[in-house]
Amino acid sequence: MFAAACVLAVVLTACTGRGGGQLPPSAGFSAAASFGFSFSCEDKGGINPQTGQLQIELSYNDKGSNPLGSAFGIHGTVDTIQSSVESALCIGQNPPPDPLLPNELIFLGRYRLTSGSPSKLGACPTSETTTSPMCRFEVHVQDNDKSQTPSQGDTFKITLSNVPVSCPGSTLEDVAPCSQLPDGSVVYTRGGKLSSGNITVD
């Protein structure tokens, strides 16, 4: 386990979130962007369960020209943190500063490029070591229709930082700096209502 990295601004009004779909072309973005994600921060049940397990998976692909240049894709994952801190986050000992709606979820993690080579992400490693942390993302989703059927009412927003960050530590205070992206490090933001797909937060 790397001591490197931490997570979140985990929104504990919701314990799970999942979904996928597309954002339509818009000003500054010539083509659609597709995404899929799953988020879980809960006790899975069973005999002697591991409480407060945090799980994040994210796939994102911008398919046209954008503020970073040409098309690119990333894969995002959960940070590696000590189990005691992971459990404390998931049971709500580190709530976000502003309460969110029950249908709203914000999560942070680390990412690597899977396609394309935007120059502004050139400092972001494609794998993590104890001396080379990865860059970070933030995702903000809203399940506006509370429906599990395809909907254009749900929203998805992604923000990418191009500064590798490591937050070693074994307490909530140690990992707190990674509950937001570093100042001045954001190079890409895209969001809006889905043109297809669905998001579920529960």
* Per-residue pLDDT at 148: 62
User: Do residues 42 and 87 touch, judged by C-beta distance below 8 A?
Assistant: no
Distance CA 42, CA 163 (A): 30
**More confident position, 194 or 201:** 194
Joined tokens for residue 103: 């249908």
Joined tokens for residue 27: 């000003």
Q: What is the pTM of this model?
A: 0.81
**More confident position, 13 or 105:** 105
How does strand 196-201 pair with strand 16-23?
Answer: antiparallel
- Residue 171: CB atoms within 10 Å: 11
Please, which residues bridge with residue 53 across strands?
42
* Per-residue pLDDT at 31: 98
Amino acid at residue number 174 = D
Q: Check whether 65 has a pLDDT greater than 60.
A: yes
User: Do residues 54 and 15 touch, judged by C-beta distance below 8 A?
Assistant: no
Q: In the 8-state DSSP scheme, what is residue 134? A: P
Most confident of 61-75, 84-98, 118-132: 61-75
Distance CA 171, CA 37 (A): 27
Q: Check whether 25 has a pLDDT greater than 70.
A: yes
Distance CA 39, CA 41 (A): 7
